[in-house]
């Protein structure tokens, strides 16, 4: 089966596929999602198979309007309503207690009594959800563990022959997955389980105290959000994070050059102009802009990982772990196995 690239004008083809229980990748402002009817257990199981994803890793439910959340939960705190009004549609996922465990298949929730919901800021995908007359699961549309896809081409590369089609909405504008905020803590203080483009400061400014989860899950503990338990975002080529002093960059390049390794550079244009003796370059930004770098991170990892480039090691630019830099570094650390030069 050849996976179809579906033009936006042919959205009905994607809608019909979802209704038949097939898988369709859809664009969002963050990354491309792998869509299936969240109420169709058989379809959702196919998502795990297509990705090679562990089945105890819960999935985010994507909705087309805020009222749809009420179909699944009776527990929307006032703070959550404020966040929905401020950030939906947008790159913020909220976790709620379910009415009961029967409202969604356990393959969606990972067997938990909670579920994660998001309204993506992409008109094409909002139309897909609405016209499908359901809600969709939407984990990143990649082979599990590899960098997330930010173009239809990335999805096709990973999942051709495994899914019905990819609804092509162009390149994603944010470039990393949504912020995940748990609204179910006993003391009522929301907890960030995954950083994203909506920052802790933005959340706190609106609703007051917000905590950052720093607990590393043990093997036997069930995660509440995607990305908390298993390896993510890693290309096949080793990735080394470089602190941004120029001598660190050149020292690393020279070290690998002397050992006969081809070096790929993932950095700003401003950094690249000062370097020599590398094999290839992918531009994250012009002058170390974290939002721009975040947008291009996954695409850069994929580009430098192509076998024909014959790159032995990727050296990647780092940012301070604050505001959006926290989301960028969260993904880069996982891609690089947290190794610094």
Asked whether residue 316 carries a pLDDT value surpassing 90, the answer given is: yes
- CA-wise closest residue to 319 among 310, 327, 329: 329
Q: What is the pLDDT of residue 231?
A: 53
Per-residue pLDDT tens digits for 255-301: 999 999 999 999 999 999 999 889 999 999 999 899 999 999 999 99
- CA-wise closest residue to 207 among 222, 219, 191, 220: 191
pLDDT-derived band at 192, boundaries 50, 70, 90: very high
Please give the span between the terminal C-alpha atoms of the chain, in angstroms, as a whole number.
Answer: 44
What would the two tokens of residue 240 be?
């080394």
Q: What is the pLDDT of residue 201?
A: 96
Residue 69: how many other CB atoms lie within 10 Å = 21
Asked whether residue 199 carries a pLDDT value surpassing 60, the answer given is: yes
Which own/partner contact pairs does 44-50 have at CB distance under 8 Å and 24+ positions apart?
A: 44/105, 44/107, 44/108, 44/137, 45/107, 46/21, 47/23, 47/137, 47/139, 48/107, 49/162, 50/23, 50/159, 50/162, 50/163
Cβ atoms 336, 241 nearer than 8 A:
yes
- CA-wise closest residue to 89 among 131, 115, 117: 117
How far is the C-alpha of 248 from the C-alpha of 244, rounded, in Å? 7
Per-residue pLDDT tens digits for 139-178: 999 999 899 999 999 999 999 999 999 999 999 999 999 9
Per-residue pLDDT tens digits for 89-143: 999 999 999 999 899 999 999 999 999 999 999 999 999 999 999 999 999 999 9
How far is the C-alpha of 314 from the C-alpha of 304, rounded, in Å? 7
How far is the C-alpha of 101 from the C-alpha of 86, rounded, in Å? 28
Q: Is 160 helix (H, G, I), strand (E, B) or coil?
A: coil
Per-residue pLDDT tens digits for 215-264: 533 333 444 555 444 456 889 999 999 987 767 899 999 999 999 999 99
């Amino acid at each position: 089966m050849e996976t179809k690239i579906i033009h936006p004008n042919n959205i009905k083809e994607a809608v019909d596929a979802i209704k038949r229980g097939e898988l369709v990748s859809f664009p969002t402002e963050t990354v491309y999602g792998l869509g299936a009817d969240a109420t169709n257990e058989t379809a959702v199981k196919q998502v795990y198979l297509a990705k090679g994803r562990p089945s105890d890793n819960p999935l985010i439910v994507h909705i087309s309007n805020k009222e749809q959340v009420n179909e699944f939960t009776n527990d929307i705190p006032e703070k959550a309503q404020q966040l929905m009004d401020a950030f939906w549609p947008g790159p913020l996922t909220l976790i709620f207690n379910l009415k009961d465990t029967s409202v969604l298949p356990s393959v969606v929730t990972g067997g938990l009594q909670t579920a994660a919901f998001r309204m993506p800021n992409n008109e094409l995908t909002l139309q897909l959800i609405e016209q499908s007359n359901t809600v969709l699961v939407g984990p990143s549309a990649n082979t599990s563990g590899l960098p997330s896809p930010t173009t239809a081409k990335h999805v096709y590369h990973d999942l051709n022959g495994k899914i019905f089609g990819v609804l092509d909405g162009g390149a994603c504008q944010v470039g990393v997955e949504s912020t995940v905020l748990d609204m179910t803590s006993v003391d009522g203080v929301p907890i960030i389980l995954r950083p994203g483009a909506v920052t802790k400061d933005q959340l706190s400014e609106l609703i007051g105290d917000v905590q950052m989860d720093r607990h590393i899950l043990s093997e036997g503990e069930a995660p509440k959000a995607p990305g908390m338990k298993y390896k993510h975002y890693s290309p096949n080529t080793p990735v080394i994070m470089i602190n941004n002093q120029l001598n660190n960059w050149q020292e690393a390049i020279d070290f690998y050059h002397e050992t006969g390794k081809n070096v790929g550079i993932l950095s700003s244009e401003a950094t690249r102009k000062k370097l020599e003796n590398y094999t290839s370059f992918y531009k994250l930004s012009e002058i170390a802009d974290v939002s721009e770098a975040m947008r291009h991170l996954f695409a850069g990892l994929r580009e430098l990982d192509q076998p024909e480039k014959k790159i032995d090691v990727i050296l990647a630019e780092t940012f301070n772990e604050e505001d959006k830099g926290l989301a960028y570094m969260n993904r880069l650390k996982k891609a690089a196995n947290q190794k610094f030069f």
